[in-house]
Chains A and B, each alone.
Chain A
C-alpha cells in the first residue's frame, strides 16, 4: 500500500511540475500576481511530493520489501543497515530518484529563500525549474519506475554490488548529484533572464550563491569519488580520465568558469551574455554527465540499443534542455546590454583568461571523452583515448590558467599594471624558483616536468600568501596592524584565497605523488619482510573469517620505522557470496605527508601471498587541496549572505572605491 502511495506521489508531482512550468510563465507575461505566486507554492508542493516518494522508496529498502523489484535486485536481508539506506541510490532507478529529489529541493529553496527576488524573475526561474522537474519525472515514471512490483515475492534479494558497499561510495553520490543538479538553478535563472530580456548586477547577485553552492557540492563529490577509487581499486591511482570521471569533471570546469564570470558580472557589470551562456552550458554538461554516461553510450555505441526507450528519452531530454537553452540565447542575447569595457590587463582580463583556459580545458576533455564514439560512428575505427592524451593536451592548456590565477587578484579592476602586480608577487616567484632547486639538489634524477609542476604549486600557494600580506599592508605597517587588517578582509577575499591556496596544495599533491612514488610487489610468506622507503614490513600471516554478508581474508603486517612506534596494518580481500564478487580493502597509513598503501593480492595456494606495497608521497594533499577549495567556496558564500542582509538594512550610500579589496 505504502509503495502505491509513493508511486502516486510521483505522478502527482509530475502534474504539479506541469502547472509550475506553465501558468507562472503566462502570469509573468500578463503581470498576474496570482499566477506568478502559484510558482512558489507549486515548487514547495512538488518538493514535498517527491520527498514523500523518496522516503517511501527508502523505507522499502530499509525493511527489505522484496515485492519491490528494485529492492530485490539491489538488497539482501544480510546487508548492513548503513548500506540498506545508501543502497537506495546504488541503482539506476534510485539515483534518478535522488536526482529529482535534489532538483525539487533546489526549486523549493529558491521558492522559500527568494522572497526578495523581483516577482517576474522568480516566477520565471521557478517555472523553468518546474519544466526540468517535469522532464525528469516523466523519465522516471515512464522508463525507470522505482516502485515496480514483483510477484511472487522472492524470499531474499540479490544484494548490492559489493563495490558500492563502502562508506566512501555510499556517501559520494549525494554530493555529486547536489553539485550536478545545483546547476539546474543557475540554468533556470539564465533562461528566466533571457525571457525577461534584462540582466544586471542584481541578477548576478542572485544567481552567484547558487552557482557557488552547487560548485562546492560538485567539488566535494569529485574529491570523494577520486578518494574512493584510490583506496578501493588497489593500485594507488586516484584519477583515471575515464568517461565517468570526465563526466563529472566537465561541469566542474564550466562551473568554475561560471563562478568567476558571474563575479565580473556582479561586481563590474560586464560579461553578462557570456555568463548566461556558461550557465546554460554548465547544466548541459551536468545532464550529459549523468544521463549519457548512465545510458552506457560511452562504453559502446551498441549498448544504446539495449534499452532504446531510455536512450531515446534521454537524448530528447538533453536536446530540449541544451538546444532550447541555446535557441533562447540566440534569439534574446543580442538584446542584453553589452556591459562595461575593460583593458586586457585588468582583473576582468585575468578572469576572461581564466574562463578561456577552463573552457578550452573542458573542450579538450569533451573531445577526448567523445572522440572514440565519433570515430566509431564516422569511420568505423575503434580507438582508445587514455590518460596519456589528457596529460599531453589538458595539462598544458590549464597551466597558464594556474599561473594567471595568482596574478589576477593582485590586478586592479578595469585597468591594472602587470609590472606592479608581479613586483608584489616577488616573494612567491622567489619561492617558486627556490623549492625546485632545493629538490633538484637532493634528487638529481628528478624529472623536469615534476620540477616545473612543483614551481607552479609553490607559486600558487605563496602567491596567495603574498597577496594577503600585501592587502594587510605588510612592509608598511607594524605586524600587529597587518594581522588585524588581514583578519578583517571581506569573507569573499578569504574565500578565494583559501580556494586558490587549495589549488596550489592540490597541484603539489599531484606532482609529488606521481613523480616520487615507490612500489614493491612481492610474494611473501609468514615471517618474510619487505623494505620500502625506510620502512620494514613484517608479514605475519593471513586469517580467514566470515563477517556480515562477506568472507574476509585478512593479512596482518607490522610496519617498523626507525625512530617511531611500530604499527599494524590489515589489508583485506572480501568475497561476497550472494553477489559472487571479490573486493580489495586496502590498508593505508597516512601521516599527512605521504601514504603507506598496502593491498593484499592472490594466494599461490602454498602459503605465499602477493603483497603490493606503495609509498605515495603527498598524495593526501590532493584531497586536502580539494577540500580547501570547497571550504573557500563556503566562506565566500557566508560573505554573500551577510552582504545581502546588509543591503537590506542599510542605504546604498556606501560605494566601494575602485581597486579596493572587493573579492574577485
Chain B
C-alpha cells in the first residue's frame, strides 16, 4: 500500500500532467509506432515508482517517449534505440534487465533452483520407492486375498 501512497506522491509531483502516451507524440507510421510502444514498455520512468514510460504521465516519461520515437524515426534498430537510451540513463532504465555478470544470479537463480530441487526430489522419490514400497491399497489387498484363496 505504501507504494500506492508513493505513487500518489509521484502523481502529485507531476500534478495535472497528461496520461501516458499522448496522441500528439505518435508516429505517423503504424509499424514504427507499434515498435515504439513495445520498446517503451521496457523502459522505466526514472522519476516514478516502478512504472514504464508507456504507462507514466510524468514529464520525463514524455521526453523519453519522444526521444525513443525520434531515434526509431531516424532509422535505429530496436537494440540501437535502447542502447542509446541506456548510454544516457544507465542500465536502471531497462525494466527487462540484460543477461550480464551483475544479473547472472537473477536470471540463473530460478532455473537452477527448479532443476536442483527437482533433481533432489526425484532422487528421494526413487530412493524411497526402492526402499519401502508403499503399502497395498484396499483394492490390491482384496485382489491379493482373492488370488490367494483361489490357489490356496
Q: Which 10 A-B pairs have the closest CB atoms?
A: A386-B95, A244-B3, A388-B96, A382-B92, A163-B8, A344-B125, A601-B19, A242-B50, A602-B18, A364-B110
Do B110 and A575 touch (CB < 8 A)? no
Tally of B interface residues using CB under 8 Å: 59
Do B118 and A610 touch (CB < 8 A)? no
Out of A164, A245, A384, A386, name the residue touching B8 (CB < 8 Å): A164
Chain A residues, Cβ within 8 Å of B95? 384-389
Contact of B146 with A by CB under 8 A: no
Bound together, the chains give a CA A601 to CA B14 distance in angstroms of: 14
Chain A residues, Cβ within 8 Å of B52? 386
- Most B CB within 10 A of own CB, among A364, A386, A414: A386
Known contacts A371-B106, A414-B137, A582-B11, A341 near B96 by CB under 8 Å: no
Contact of A240 with B by CB under 8 A: yes
Known contacts A235-B19, A384-B93, A658-B137, A367 near B50 by CB under 8 Å: no
Do A383 and B91 touch (CB < 8 A)? yes
Chain B residues, Cβ within 8 Å of A363? 109-110, 113
Contact of A412 with B by CB under 8 A: yes
Contact of A299 with B by CB under 8 A: yes
Contact of B152 with A by CB under 8 A: no
Chain A stretch 582-612: residues in CB contact (< 8 A) with chain B:
582-584, 599, 601-602, 610, 612
- The binding surface of chain A is classed by DSSP as mixed
Question: Can you list 13 residue pairs at the A/B interface with Cβ under 8 Å?
Answer: A225-B1, A240-B50, A243-B50, A294-B2, A356-B118, A363-B113, A382-B90, A383-B97, A397-B114, A414-B135, A523-B23, A580-B15, A601-B22
Out of A176, A229, A341, A375, name the residue touching B128 (CB < 8 Å): A341
Do B132 and A341 touch (CB < 8 A)? yes
Chain B residues, Cβ within 8 Å of A389? 95-97, 106
Chain B stretch 17-76: residues in CB contact (< 8 A) with chain A:
17-24, 42, 44, 49-52, 55
Contact of B144 with A by CB under 8 A: no
In the complex, the chain B residue whose C-beta lies closest to that of A364 is B110
Chain B residues, Cβ within 8 Å of A602? 16-19, 22
Do A612 and B106 touch (CB < 8 A)? no
Do B19 and A375 touch (CB < 8 A)? no
Chain B residues, Cβ within 8 Å of A575? 16
In the complex, the chain A residue whose C-beta lies closest to that of B44 is A384
Contact of B150 with A by CB under 8 A: no
- Most B CB within 10 A of own CB, among A346, A412, A610: A610
Do B19 and A367 touch (CB < 8 A)? no
Contact of B81 with A by CB under 8 A: no
Do B8 and A161 touch (CB < 8 A)? yes
Contact of A360 with B by CB under 8 A: yes
Q: How far is the CB of A414 from chain B (nearest CB, A)?
A: 5
Chain B residues, Cβ within 8 Å of A114? none
Out of B4, B96, B118, name the residue touching A163 (CB < 8 Å): B4
Bound together, the chains give a CA A266 to CA B128 distance in angstroms of: 21
Tally of A interface residues using CB under 8 Å: 73
Bound together, the chains give a CA A86 to CA B93 distance in angstroms of: 37
Chain A stretch 240-260: residues in CB contact (< 8 A) with chain B:
240, 242-245
Do B19 and A599 touch (CB < 8 A)? yes
In the complex, the chain B residue whose C-beta lies closest to that of A229 is B4
Chain A 334-368 near chain B by CB (<8 Å), digits 1 or 0: 00000001111010010010001000100110011
Chain A residues, Cβ within 8 Å of B92? 382-384
Bound together, the chains give a CA A663 to CA B50 distance in angstroms of: 42
Contact of A162 with B by CB under 8 A: yes
Chain A residues, Cβ within 8 Å of B6? 296, 299
In the complex, the chain A residue whose C-beta lies closest to that of B23 is A523
Do A242 and B110 touch (CB < 8 A)? no
Bound together, the chains give a CA A364 to CA B105 distance in angstroms of: 11
Do A386 and B44 touch (CB < 8 A)? yes
Chain B residues, Cβ within 8 Å of A610? 18-19, 22-23
Bound together, the chains give a CA A80 to CA B42 distance in angstroms of: 40
Do A235 and B20 touch (CB < 8 A)? yes
Contact of A418 with B by CB under 8 A: no
Chain B 114-136 near chain A by CB (<8 Å), digits 1 or 0: 10011001000110110010110
Do A293 and B137 touch (CB < 8 A)? no
Contact of A448 with B by CB under 8 A: no
Chain B residues, Cβ within 8 Å of A176? 1
Do A580 and B2 touch (CB < 8 A)? no
Bound together, the chains give a CA A233 to CA B7 distance in angstroms of: 10
Q: How far is the CB of B82 from chain A (nearest CB, A)?
A: 12
Chain B residues, Cβ within 8 Å of A240? 50-51
Q: How far is the CB of B10 from chain A (nearest CB, A)?
A: 10
Q: How far is the CB of B41 from chain A (nearest CB, A)?
A: 8
Do A356 and B91 touch (CB < 8 A)? no
Out of A356, A368, A657, name the residue touching B117 (CB < 8 Å): A356
Do A382 and B44 touch (CB < 8 A)? no
Chain A 225-243 near chain B by CB (<8 Å), digits 1 or 0: 1000100011101001011
Do B110 and A397 touch (CB < 8 A)? yes
Q: How far is the CB of A127 from chain B (nearest CB, A)?
A: 31
Bound together, the chains give a CA A659 to CA B51 distance in angstroms of: 50
Bound together, the chains give a CA A367 to CA B114 distance in angstroms of: 13
Chain B residues, Cβ within 8 Å of A658? 137-139
Bound together, the chains give a CA A404 to CA B135 distance in angstroms of: 24
Do A368 and B2 touch (CB < 8 A)? no
Bound together, the chains give a CA A583 to CA B128 distance in angstroms of: 60
Bound together, the chains give a CA A225 to CA B1 distance in angstroms of: 9
Contact of B12 with A by CB under 8 A: yes
Do B15 and A582 touch (CB < 8 A)? yes
Chain A residues, Cβ within 8 Å of B138? 657-659
Chain A stretch 101-159: residues in CB contact (< 8 A) with chain B:
none
Do B23 and A522 touch (CB < 8 A)? yes
Chain B residues, Cβ within 8 Å of A198? none
Contact of B103 with A by CB under 8 A: yes
Bound together, the chains give a CA A602 to CA B12 distance in angstroms of: 15
Do B134 and A341 touch (CB < 8 A)? yes
Bound together, the chains give a CA A162 to CA B19 distance in angstroms of: 17
Q: How far is the CB of A611 from chain B (nearest CB, A)?
A: 9
Do A244 and B2 touch (CB < 8 A)? yes
Chain B residues, Cβ within 8 Å of A393? 107, 110-111
Chain A residues, Cβ within 8 Å of B11? 163, 581-583
Q: How far is the CB of A356 from chain B (nearest CB, A)?
A: 6
Q: How far is the CB of A288 from chain B (nearest CB, A)?
A: 14
Q: How far is the CB of B62 from chain A (nearest CB, A)?
A: 11
In the complex, the chain B residue whose C-beta lies closest to that of A414 is B134
Bound together, the chains give a CA A266 to CA B121 distance in angstroms of: 22
Out of B4, B5, B12, B18, name the residue touching A601 (CB < 8 Å): B18
Known contacts A237-B55, A386-B95, A584-B19, A360 near B8 by CB under 8 Å: no
Chain A stretch 620-636: residues in CB contact (< 8 A) with chain B:
none
- Most B CB within 10 A of own CB, among A163, A379, A579: A163
Bound together, the chains give a CA A296 to CA B50 distance in angstroms of: 13
Chain B residues, Cβ within 8 Å of A394? 110
Known contacts A244-B4, A384-B95, A415-B134, A299 near B49 by CB under 8 Å: yes
Contact of A566 with B by CB under 8 A: no
Do A342 and B134 touch (CB < 8 A)? yes
Contact of B149 with A by CB under 8 A: no
Do A371 and B105 touch (CB < 8 A)? yes
Q: How far is the CB of B19 from chain A (nearest CB, A)?
A: 4
Chain A residues, Cβ within 8 Å of B2? 92, 244, 293-294, 296
